[in-house]
Amino acid sequence: MPESFDVIVIGGGTAGLVTASGCARLGRKVALIEREKLGGDCLWTGCVPTKALVATARLIHQLRHAEAYGLETQDIRFTPKSVMDSMRAQRQAIEHHDDPEKFRALGIEVIFGEAKLISSSDVEVADRRLTAKDIVIATGTRTALPPVEGLAEHGFLDHVSFLDQDTFPDSILILGGGPIGVEFAQIFRRFGSEVVVVEMSDEIISKEDGDVIARIRKILTEEGIEIRSGWAAKSVRADAEKKVVRIENKLGETLELRIDEIFVASGRRANIEDLGLEAAGVKTDRGFVVVDKYLQTSVPRIWACGDVHGGMQFTHVAAYEAVKLVRNMLFPGRSAVSYDNIPWGLYTDPEVGHIGMTEGEAVTAHGADNIRTYSIEMAEVDRAVVDRTTGGFVKLVCDKRGHILGAHALCANASTLIETLVLARQKNVTVAQLAQLVSPYPSLADALQKAASMYYQDVAKGWLGSLGKQIARWSQ
Ligand SMILES: Cc1cc2nc3c(=O)[nH]c(=O)nc-3n(C[C@H](O)[C@H](O)[C@H](O)COP(=O)(O)OP(=O)(O)OC[C@H]3O[C@@H](n4cnc5c(N)ncnc54)[C@H](O)[C@@H]3O)c2cc1C
């Protein structure tokens, strides 16, 4: 007889952990199955270790530019091992949040092993057979290997294998100019590697606002990173000392780049092979589990949340979806997911905080005549000046009536700064209301108030314009 549960959760990353603990706190009998360690990508190979490396890389950069603070620049001495050990120490300090015992204390049966669905209600794991009314698939994603001839044979790194080692290559080609590729490009460069980013699309970090892309591109290029967007890697071979990557652009021009290592960051694929989805009747599309807006799969009592369904692949989204899923699974009625007010951070230095539409998206949706943008350079913000972090800006994208359609911050702690805009959008605060915000002086939040205040200049210009036209008519 199979062991019976109310809910079986497959995958112990953010999505699975939040789902399992939510169900257990609501009194359900839960089995949580994980094939490696609880914590998933975020803790072990994603957000946590990369942001620990970003912090070290930022400090190295600041020390190299110490004269800006009135200090003498000095030789900074470090070894790859010292840097990686420090990263691991930060991860270890966070690890306890995902300790299996914590979840067992909630009454959850934590099972380690590879789960496989054998029907729409039964799961096999480690020689055990479990059954439940509801099953949640939260198995996440992993690096997708692009179709580049010779790549697998000649070897490559990704976020998982790199974080396990204690060496930095002399030169590295980063395949993919998305968030992961760009964050690692800056990390490697600041640790001393020669870096080239090869991105097939015309632009890197293409989901960001055009002005953000242009500025990040400039910052990375000035740090010595070569960016080749509009180029695709075609093949890899090896000569006596190096890997040789042939890249090609849309005009059919080719180039050969000789480098020590290749870092693949060109896409993700869902962990769904061997999961028994066919046996359960769960539909997939382009390698990801298909879900509706209530996070239900094509099979009524099988649900999915987090990266595995190929939506917005962020930890905070995985957690948000898990909460929605628990609500939809255990309570009457349904509540749809909405991604309108979901922000994200891009952890370059300076950081990017993003919410809502880019200017380009707003123009497409509403027409250029109906869009207003208000931007302020961080060089105009006193706190950024005294902190010596002036290389960015804040930009608000609004409609003509001052509704905030999107906001983009490129500055220190931009992922925190953007929170104010999340709340503003949630509560339908207009840009005129945002301008009335009183922030402590000096703070980076001043940038928001300054950008929003430009709305009044816009309105005043409009008024003065019509007053001028009126006077001209009167005086005719
Ligand atoms: C380099 C990198 C940096 C990132 N940085 C950020 C960031 O700064 N901020 C942010 O918001 N997001 C970031 N992300 C994204 C974030 O890590 C993911 O969105 C998040 O981890 C998704 O959680 P999840 O639970 O859906 O999947 P995962 O965390 O991948 O968890 C899935 C779990 O399922 C397990 N599993 C898979 N198959 C089976 C099976 N058959 N049986 C049992 N267990 C199974 C896996 O072992 C894994 O533990 C980053 C990602 C990467 C790769």
Ligand 1 centroid – CA 11 distance (Å)? 9
Question: Residue 323 gets which letter from DSSP?
Answer: H
For residues 440 and 461, the answer to whether their CB atoms sit within 8 Å is no
Question: Residue 68 gets which letter from DSSP?
Answer: G
Query: Does the CB atom of residue 452 touch ligand 1 within 6 A?
Result: no
Give the atom of ligand 1 at the shortest distance from the alpha carbon of 14. 25
Query: Does the CB atom of residue 156 touch ligand 1 within 6 A?
Result: no
For 219, phi then psi, to 5°, come to -60, -45
Confidence at 474, pLDDT banded by 50, 70, 90: low
Ligand 1 centroid – CA 40 distance (Å)? 5
**What's the pLDDT at 279?**
94
pLDDT at 438 over 60: yes
SS3 462: helix
Question: Residue 271 gets which letter from DSSP?
Answer: S
Ligand 1 centroid – CA 139 distance (Å)? 8
- Segment 177-234, tens digit of pLDDT: 999 999 999 999 999 999 999 999 999 999 999 999 999 999 999 999 999 999 999 9
Ligand 1 atom 53: the closest Cα is on which residue? 46
**What's the pLDDT at 458?**
81
- Segment 113-145, tens digit of pLDDT: 999 999 999 999 999 999 999 999 999 999 999
Distance CA 41, CA 14 (A): 8
pLDDT at 476 over 80: no
Ligand 1 centroid – CA 249 distance (Å)? 32
Angle between helices 179-190 and 47-64 (to 10 degrees): 40
User: Position 472: which residue type?
Assistant: A
Prior bond of 169 cis (ω within 30°): no
- The residue to which tokens 């180039």 are assigned: 255
- Segment 417-435, tens digit of pLDDT: 999 999 999 999 999 999 9
Instruction: Record the tokens describing residue 376, joined without a space.
Output: 């302020």
For 7, phi then psi, to 5°, come to -135, 135
Confidence at 31, pLDDT banded by 50, 70, 90: very high
| Residue % of the chain over a pLDDT of 90 | 95
Ligand 1 centroid – CA 34 distance (Å)? 12
Confidence at 461, pLDDT banded by 50, 70, 90: confident
Which residues neighbour 384 within 8 Å (Cβ) at sequence distance 6 or greater? 378, 390, 392, 411, 412, 444, 447
Residue 195: strand pairing partners: 172
Per the prediction, the chain carries an average pLDDT of 96
- Segment 47-95, tens digit of pLDDT: 999 999 999 999 999 999 999 999 998 889 999 999 999 999 999 999 9
Query: Does the CB atom of residue 15 touch ligand 1 within 6 A?
Result: yes
**What's the pLDDT at 261?**
98
- Segment 271-321, tens digit of pLDDT: 999 999 999 999 999 999 999 999 999 999 999 999 999 999 999 999 999
The whole model's pTM is what? 0.96
pLDDT at 24 over 60: yes
Ligand 1 atom 37: the closest Cα is on which residue? 139
Distance CA 328, CA 199 (A): 39
Query: Does the CB atom of residue 351 touch ligand 1 within 6 A?
Result: no
Ligand 1 centroid – CA 90 distance (Å)? 18
Ligand 1 centroid – CA 203 distance (Å)? 26
Q: For the residues 248-259, what does the mean pLDDT come to? A: 97
Ligand 1 centroid – CA 42 distance (Å)? 5
pLDDT at 390 over 70: yes
Phi-psi region at 252: left, alpha or beta (left = phi > 0; alpha = psi -120 to 50): left
More confident residue, 452 or 470: 452
Distance CA 41, CA 46 (A): 5
Query: Does the CB atom of residue 42 touch ligand 1 within 6 A?
Result: yes
Confidence at 460, pLDDT banded by 50, 70, 90: confident
Q: 17, 21, 42, 180: which to mutate for ligand 1, most atoms within 8 A of CB?
A: 42
**What's the pLDDT at 466?**
65
pLDDT at 475 over 60: no
430-436 contacts, C-beta under 8 A, 24 or more apart:
430/401, 430/402, 430/403, 430/404, 431/374, 431/396, 431/398, 431/402, 431/403, 431/404, 431/455, 432/402, 432/456, 432/459, 434/396, 434/404
**What's the pLDDT at 465?**
63
Q: 36, 37, 41: which to mutate for ligand 1, most atoms within 8 A of CB?
A: 41
Distance CA 236, CA 244 (A): 6
- Segment 356-389, tens digit of pLDDT: 999 999 999 999 999 999 999 999 999 999 999 9
**What's the pLDDT at 457?**
85
Give the atom of ligand 1 at the shortest distance from the alpha carbon of 16. 25
Distance CA 92, CA 83 (A): 14
The Cβ of residue 353 has, within 10 Å, a number of other Cβ atoms equal to 26
